[in-house]
Amino acid sequence: MSCRTVFHGDCWATAALLKLQFEIVSVQAGIESLEVPEGDSLESWLSILNEHPGIEFAEEDRLMHAFDWNAPDDPDLPLQWAMYQLGLFLGQDDDRAWHRSTGSHAITVCIIDSGIDYDHPDLASNMWINHHEIPDNGIDDDHNGFIDDYYGFNFLNDSGDCIDNYFHGTHLAGIVGAACNNSLGVCGVSPNVNLMACKFLDAEGNGFTSNALRCLDYSLLMGADMTLNSWGGVDADSLSLRLAIHSAEAAGQLYITAAGNDWGADIDEHPTYPAAYNNSNILTVIATAENGQLAAYSNYGQTNAHIAAPGSHILSTVLDKGYGYHDGTSQAAAYVAGAAALAMAAYEQAGVNVSFGAAAIKAAILSGAARTPALADTCTSGGILDVAKALSLIPEHVLVNEVAGCPHCSGQLASYPTSRLETGALAPTSNPSDAASDPAWPQIKLARP
Ligand SMILES: [Ca+2]
Ligand SMILES: [Ca+2]
Ligand SMILES: [Ca+2]
């Protein structure tokens, strides 16, 4: 290996003495260079030259790098303001989450929502696939109790076709894991991930709690590492929902949910569910605008909400292979789901199985939150999602500590007391006073006797 040494001073005599060939680098500054003979130590030569009375100083000819930035080539990335704010790909290595991990196809995020447009070109490569199931043949090939559940399942019509006919699930899927650097559209937070679709919301964003529970059970049965639940309601406290989330908690499956868009409601005072349940595996997310302030539509809760994430003017995938902007705590929760997927991938790449270690992932996400005065009283962490910081808190070399597997990963679905559910119509809410912002967030409303 050849190295070069730049030195300064009256050194021609020295050169002759040392039998080295010097070259002029800068006549003005009196800098010259030499090539260290092959096989010689750079350090030894630096030491010899720096001690020589005819040489003012000698130093290594350091290699420089062009300041080019290998940005992903997705043409709409510049419109994704949140991706720039989250610490994914900007700055020095330690400031970039993607330096640590760009996700893994060993990690599965089940999006319990209106389905996913699995044919969307920015989503197709990251769709979860049940490889033991043959799609569209009318047969339950893997004998898991669900016919043709190839990308997930649709509990609205008990079919394997979980295609989105609303927009909501597809938009969230793109935030979590749209393909990146594919010269197309947008990037997801976790460019490599498995997106499992479970559909319980219909074409207007309405769905019954019982079907949401069936989705949660399905996600456990099929081994999803976490679920994203961007829906709920202020009157939706339900014993069935509590029991189902408890089963996910017992399995160590992360349950990410949105605080709701009731225009600044305190969910400690006026709880919305499932956001306000206190299970240890729940991460409840509030939304911020581009300026880092709590978004006007976002609920909050010093006890019941955990962390903020971008939720306003969010560009992501929508139906018909398109892209569109939507606002809401739903979107904020999807950013946290993407971050959790990256964190799980980072653990996995360190040799630690945390696929059912909700506590470790939740701790990393919350400990990494960037605290700001504006968010101090809005959630337990008092801060906004910082993906790079969260990943930096995962030790480089962690002891292999196998987390207990999912007790629900085989066998039949557990039965829930769905007969106790009395569900009514669900409707997205929006504030007519702010037509520019339409936080579509499906609400569960239970019709009580
Ligand atoms: Ca099946
Ligand atoms: Ca089949
Ligand atoms: Ca893309």
**Residue 406 confidence class, pLDDT cut points 50, 70, 90:** very low
Q: Which ligand has an atom closest to residue 72 CA?
A: 3
Query: Alpha-carbon distance 365 to 270, whole Å?
Result: 25
Q: Are residues 117 and 45 part of one domain?
A: no
Q: Which tens digits make up the pLDDT trace of 139-170?
A: 999 999 999 999 999 999 999 999 999 999 99
The DSSP secondary-structure symbol of 127 reads: B
In percent, the amount of the chain with pLDDT more than 90 equals 65
Q: Are residues 231 and 101 part of one domain?
A: yes
Between the CA of 144 and the centroid of ligand 1 the distance, in Å, is 5
Say if CB 216 and CB 200 are below 8 A apart: no
Query: Between these two residues, 342 and 27, which has the higher pLDDT value?
Result: 342
Query: Alpha-carbon distance 115 to 113, whole Å?
Result: 6
Say if CB 310 and CB 87 are below 8 A apart: no
Q: Which ligand has an atom closest to residue 124 CA?
A: 3
Between the CA of 144 and the centroid of ligand 2 the distance, in Å, is 11
The side-by-side arrangement of strands in the sheet containing 103-113 is 152-154, 192-199, 103-113, 226-229, 254-258, 282-288, 307-310, 383-384, 370-371
Please give the mean pLDDT across all residues of the chain: 85
Q: What is the predicted pLDDT for the residue at 18? A: 67
Q: Are residues 195 and 262 part of one domain?
A: yes
Whether residue 70 lies inside any domain: the answer is: no
Q: What is the predicted pLDDT for the residue at 37? A: 81
Q: Are strands 57-60 and 4-8 parallel, antiparallel or unpaired?
A: antiparallel
**Residue 355 confidence class, pLDDT cut points 50, 70, 90:** low
Where in the sequence is the domain holding 51, given as residue range(s)?
4-60
Q: Which tens digits make up the pLDDT trace of 211-238?
A: 999 999 999 999 999 999 999 988 889 9
Query: Between these two residues, 109 and 432, which has the higher pLDDT value?
Result: 109
**For residues 384-402, average pLDDT:** 72
Q: Are residues 135 and 270 part of one domain?
A: yes
Name the nearest CA neighbour of 220 among 255, 179, 171. Answer: 255
Does pLDDT of 2 surpass 60? no
Q: Are residues 135 and 25 part of one domain?
A: no
Q: Which ligand has an atom closest to residue 121 CA?
A: 3
Whether residue 447 lies inside any domain: the answer is: no
Between the CA of 131 and the centroid of ligand 2 the distance, in Å, is 10
- 111 pairs with which residues across the strands? 197, 228
Query: Alpha-carbon distance 99 to 144, whole Å?
Result: 38
Instruction: Give the environment of ion ligand 1: residues with CB less than 5 A.
Output: 133, 140, 142, 144, 146, 149
pTM, full prediction: 0.79
Between the CA of 89 and the centroid of ligand 2 the distance, in Å, is 40
Q: Are residues 33 and 83 part of one domain?
A: no
Residues serving a catalytic function are 113, 168, 330
Whether residue 437 lies inside any domain: the answer is: no
Dihedral of the alpha carbons of 246, 250, 144, 410, in degrees to the nearest 10: -160
Between the CA of 326 and the centroid of ligand 3 the distance, in Å, is 18
Between the CA of 88 and the centroid of ligand 3 the distance, in Å, is 15
Q: Are residues 372 and 280 part of one domain?
A: yes
Whether residue 438 lies inside any domain: the answer is: no
The total of structural domains in the chain comes to 2
Between the CA of 164 and the centroid of ligand 2 the distance, in Å, is 20
Q: Are residues 300 and 327 part of one domain?
A: yes
Q: Which tens digits make up the pLDDT trace of 419-439?
A: 223 222 222 344 433 333 445
Q: What is the predicted pLDDT for the residue at 254? A: 97
Whether residue 71 lies inside any domain: the answer is: no
- Which position has the token pair 């979590």? 176
Q: What is the predicted pLDDT for the residue at 69? A: 59
Q: Which ligand has an atom closest to residue 136 CA?
A: 2
Say which range, 279-283, 326-330, 392-396, has the weakest mean pLDDT: 392-396
Q: Are residues 155 and 42 part of one domain?
A: no
Does pLDDT of 318 surpass 70? yes
Structure tokens, 339 = 């971050």
Query: Alpha-carbon distance 201 to 211, whole Å?
Result: 9
Query: Between these two residues, 390 and 62, which has the higher pLDDT value?
Result: 390
User: Taking the CA of residue 230 as centre, how many other CA atoms within 13 Å lie in the half-sphere pointing to its CB?
Assistant: 37
Output the domain CATH number for residue 391: 3.40.50.200
R_g of the chain, CA atoms, integer Å: 27
Q: What is the predicted pLDDT for the residue at 312? A: 98
Classify 33 as helix, strand or coil: strand
Between the CA of 384 and the centroid of ligand 2 the distance, in Å, is 43
**For residues 363-389, average pLDDT:** 97
- Which position has the token pair 């749209």? 178
Q: What is the predicted pLDDT for the residue at 403? A: 31
Q: Which ligand has an atom closest to residue 144 CA?
A: 1
